[in-house]
Homo-oligomer: A and B are copies of this chain.
Amino acid sequence: MSVAVQTQSDERLAKPGLWDRLVVRPEIGALLGALAVFVFFSVVAGQFLSPLGVANWLDDASTLGIMAVAVAMLMIGGEFDLSAGVMTASTALVTAIFATQVGLNVWFALLLSLVFALGVGAVNGWLVMRTGLPSFIVTLGTFLALQGLNLGVTRLITGTVQVSGMRSADGYESAGMLFASTINVGGTDFQVSILWWVLFAAVAAWVLVRTRFGNWTFAVGGSALSSRAVGVPVVRTKITLFMTTAFAAWIVGSINILRNASVQANQGIGLEFQYIIAAVIGGCLLTGGFGSAVGAAIGALIFGMARQGIVYAQWNSDWFMLFLGIMLLAAVLVNNTFRRRAERVRR
């Protein structure tokens, strides 16, 4: 971003400083956190830096990252989506059931599950806007309902708690090319999901900062009442954001089902928090109105590196959660120290 305002020297400004201007970006904390985690595990864990290792943690970060970016946009818009985690399983289940049980072409099954996802997103948004209830509660309701549907429908149709057999469905190969192929770079296979992640983050960042819709997103999250008063279509903006999250869940669900060729009914539960954590590490405020898509993508990267790094370092898995908790607190603290300076907002 090239800032075109000429720096007039104002006697009320102490010292502008390049550092201060850099530090103003919401992503900077996350970036430094990512660097710290990267260096730490590069030193501690041998294989962390090997091409295979990098491909591994990038892959882990990618599906998390796609969701984190969407959730970050929603959070900037002042709302939560607790159903985002199960949604990744629901979309995969819908695709899998249509492809394997009904026997549709995979592409067609994907289309149906996309419609389903957008529908759920719209319902979430509509309920939140219509009832005026906090999205935390409404999406908790859809979270529970989807969780129940996932299990109930799967058991009803298949008699077990998983749907498998995608590999023999029509169109599996071509759809797999799009969502689940690998790209060979220098002898190592990288998952295509990494590309999706980068693409999604780039588009989201552009939309947020450069477009009118992005402006509205910040506005409705910062103050919905004020936005409405100056003519921002608050309801439309928020519903679109919920649908964006559902759309991201569809992408991730499709990546999962096409890569794993099977899906379990209880998948995705609890992931919604990882998305929120990644978004917050990336600089989003829980209260809305502030944050960055790139930051959320970096937050997911920190998460992926830490999660796989702990494995590379061969620490005892009993303590895994403890490490993760401490890592999270540390990352957020580093992050916050920087953001404090950035957010020169009256408190």
Contact = CB atoms under 8 A, between A and B. Distances in A.
A142 B347 CA distance: 26
A135 to B, nearest CB: 9
Contacts of A234: none
A242 to B, nearest CB: 16
A70 interface: no
B145 A321 contact: yes
A285 to B, nearest CB: 8
Interface in A145-173: 145-149, 151-152, 155-156
A249 to B, nearest CB: 17
A141 B325 contact: yes
Nearest to A273: B140
B319 A152 contact: yes
Contacts of A132: 336, 340
Interface residues of A, number: 47
A133 B322 contact: no
A325 B280 contact: no
Interface in A292-331: 316, 318-326, 328-329
A131 interface: yes
A130 to B, nearest CB: 10
Nearest to A319: B152
Is chain A's binding surface mostly helix, strand, loop or mixed?
helix
- Which of A316, A325, A336 gathers the greatest number of chain B CB atoms within 10 Å? A325
Nearest to A266: B321
B140 A277 contact: yes
A136 B288 CA distance: 14
B336 A133 contact: yes
A271 interface: no
A200 B18 CA distance: 55
- Which of A133, A137, A147, A270 gathers the greatest number of chain B CB atoms within 10 Å? A137
Given A146-B325, A152-B319, 13 more contacts: A133-B336, A134-B280, A134-B286, A136-B280, A138-B329, A141-B325, A141-B332, A142-B325, A145-B322, A148-B318, A148-B319, A149-B322, A152-B316
